[in-house]
Amino acid sequence: MSAAILVDVTKCTGCERCVDACVEENGLDPVQAQKDRATTEDGLSDNRLLSILQVEDGRFARMSCMHCVEPSCVSACLVGGITKTPEGPVVYDPDKCIGCRYCMLACPFHVPRYEWDETVPFMKKCAMCFQRLNDGLEPACVEACPNDALHFGERDDLLRKAHDLIASNRGSYVDRVWGEHEFGGTSVLYISDVDLASLGWPAPDTEAIPSLTEPLIEKTPFIGLSVAGGLLGLNWIIQRRRRLGAEAVAAQDEGAGGATGPAASEAVPEGEDEGEEAKLAERSSP
């Protein structure tokens, strides 16, 4: 099963009761949440994990973690502190976090927030009320919505519902379910009568971010080993050339009946480079 939330932008009036419920559910400070609402760009902070953004005049949308199907943050976290649960939510484990903040850089929606004011800080983001889900409840925001703008359910069911709504209210919705395909799909879906690009939605065919890095990083061990192997091979070739070259010089010296002794056999002059060594090697071949 994979839980998801469907946001109907046409029904949201921007009352922010979902935000209040979120603040309460997550044990955040309501006064600080109000302060952050006034002082942050998009209303999200380490004390306000959910925000209502005005998309257009009279159009509001819920903004929080999108719970991507293939999350960039999960792929980026070096200690595996963020996981996409089989139940749907993307959850963060504060016990693993080292505070590198790569998840914040990696998130295409700018969602993760940091407790900058703490001496021992952690990352904060919506967890789709994972605990409530386990208890068989809806997320707090969905439960609090008085306008039926938030729907909770299976992602597949919600997608079907969204398409049904668009089909049965022809003309009153844009024919697009935001979150169906973008970045490989998200678990927070939007239907709307206005464009939602301002929430950070890209073109529908934008691929999942892990697909940009994971094929590359899978090759890492092979690259490392092949570099090491290549180096050893190169070293062997050059060693051999040098040896052959030295033997040739020694042979020439002996042939000329000139200077003898072990010093002559080591007479590879300093500053020799590969090209000259190659020539020496060629000379020695017959």
Binding to other proteins by residue 265, rule CB under 8 A?
A: no
Residue 175: CB partners within 8 Å, gap ≥ 6? 166
Binding to other proteins by residue 64, rule CB under 8 A?
A: no
CA distance 196 to 216: 32
Q: Residue 212 Cβ, how far from other proteins at the closest point, in Å? A: 5
Convert residues 172-211 into a mask of x (bound to other proteins by CB under 8 A) and - (unbound): --------------------------xxx-x---x--xx-
Q: Residue 27 Cβ, how far from other proteins at the closest point, in Å? A: 18
Q: Residue 225 Cβ, how far from other proteins at the closest point, in Å? A: 8
User: Taking the C-alpha atoms of 225, 226, 232 and 233 in order, what is their torsion angle to the nearest 10 degrees?
Assistant: 150
Please state at what angle helix 30-39 crosses helix 17-25, rounded to 10 degrees: 130
Binding to other proteins by residue 213, rule CB under 8 A?
A: yes
Q: Residue 23 Cβ, how far from other proteins at the closest point, in Å? A: 12
- Number of shown-chain residues binding other proteins (CB under 8 A): 88
Among residues 136, 271, 275, 286, the one that binds other proteins under rule CB under 8 A: 271
Among residues 156, 157, 175, 214, the one that binds other proteins under rule CB under 8 A: 214
**Cα–Cα nearest to 64, from 17, 124, 14, 114:** 124
Q: Which amino acid is present at 243?
A: R
Convert residues 68-97 into a mask of x (bound to other proteins by CB under 8 A) and - (unbound): ----x-xxxxxxxx--------------xx
Torsions phi, psi for 170 (to 5 deg):
-55, 130
The span of 132-140, 151-159, 252-260, 269-277 binding other proteins (CB under 8 A) equals 269-277
Among residues 24, 224, 243, 251, the one that binds other proteins under rule CB under 8 A: 224
Which positions from 113 through 152 interact with other proteins, judged by CB under 8 A? 113-122
CA distance 69 to 103: 15
> Long-range contacts: 51-58, Cβ < 8 Å, 24+?
51/19, 52/12, 52/14, 52/16, 52/18, 52/19, 53/198, 53/199, 54/14, 55/9, 55/192, 55/194, 55/196, 55/198, 55/199, 56/194
Binding to other proteins by residue 29, rule CB under 8 A?
A: no
Q: Residue 71 Cβ, how far from other proteins at the closest point, in Å? A: 11
